[in-house]
Amino acid sequence: MQFNKENKNMYILLGAAILIILAGIITLIIWGSSGRGGGTPTVSVDAIYTAAYQTVAAAQTAQQASLPPTDTPAPSPSPTLPAAATPLPINTLVFASPTTGVAQGCDNAVFVNDVTIPDGTVMSPGQTFTKTWLMQNTGTCTWDTTYSMAFVSGDAMSGAKTPLTLSVPPGQQVKVSVNMVAPATLGDAKGYWRLMNANGVFFGDSPWVLIKVEAATPTATATTAPPTATNTPVTPAADATP
């Protein structure tokens, strides 16, 4: 409908222009006929064409002004890229360096094995026994008779702090013994012990003694008095025997 209406308006304008041109030509003819005996006519054909052109141009301008403005499409927004995700931190595994068997300062000790009374040894209530551990000097100082094996925690089983009876240079092993008595209460009994220097400071591994106390049977024989606890030096290559 809009296209047909615009064509109709254009045809009307062209028709008006043609009428104006024809009217000008007729006027020139009439002026020419009447002016043959007089002066030169003052209206020219170019003036008529100019007037017709101006008329058509003014009509086109008015028509364009009456048309609704053409909507200019808005520019499409450029896609926004998502922000790069912050990498999670990757988690890193850390392995602690072992301290057992490594020299750390002046005093350090490592438990090697149980020489007597393995874990779970059955004892009668009140039975006396000697617990012996094989320990190695992994420090830089020599252990002398001012060093001792002392109770730390658990059940002491009547054991007392026992001084060493000999010197143990760095790298050497020694059998450390403590006299003990099984408790009267039935069940498991466990006590932790550790080496102590002359200043009363514990150091090194903390071995333990673990026994199982059970009721004595009628056939149980009397126990003999335990030997005096002594310390026996052992070289690393020697067998650890009681």
Over residues 95-144, the pLDDT tens digits come to 233 334 444 689 999 999 999 999 999 999 999 999 999 999 999 999 99
pLDDT score of 25: 75
Residue 33: per-residue pLDDT:
59
CB atoms within 10 A of CB 164: 20
Whether residue 236 has pLDDT greater than 70: no
3-state secondary structure at position 163: strand
Q: Are 197 and 107 in contact (CB under 8 A)?
A: yes
| Least trusted range by pLDDT, from 5-9, 42-46, 136-140 | 42-46
What pLDDT sits at residue 216?
Answer: 81
Q: Where is 109: in which H helix or E strand?
A: strand 109-114
The overall average pLDDT reported for the chain is 75
Contact 135, 234 (CB under 8 A): no
Task: Give the integer Cα–Cα distance in Å for 193 and 130.
Answer: 14
Percentage of the chain exceeding pLDDT 90:
45
CA angle 167, 133, 122 (to 5 degrees): 150
Query: What is the Cα–Cα distance from 103 to 99, expressed in whole angstroms?
Result: 8
Per-residue pLDDT tens over the stretch 147-162:
999 999 999 999 999 9
pLDDT of 203 over the 50 cut? yes
More reliable by pLDDT, 47 or 113: 113
Per-residue pLDDT of 171-180, as tens digits, reads 999 999 999 9
**Nearest CA to 147 among 237, 240, 231, 238?**
231
Q: Is the pLDDT of residue 73 over 70?
A: no
What is the Cα–Cα distance from 123 to 101, expressed in whole angstroms? 32
Tell which wins on pLDDT, 22 or 68: 22
Per-range mean pLDDT, top range of 9-18, 20-29, 186-195 = 186-195
Strand segments (E) across 124-199:
128-137, 148-154, 162-163, 173-181, 187-196
93-106 pLDDT, tens per residue?
Answer: 222 333 344 446 89
User: Does the CA dihedral 213-216-217-220 come out positive or negative?
Assistant: positive
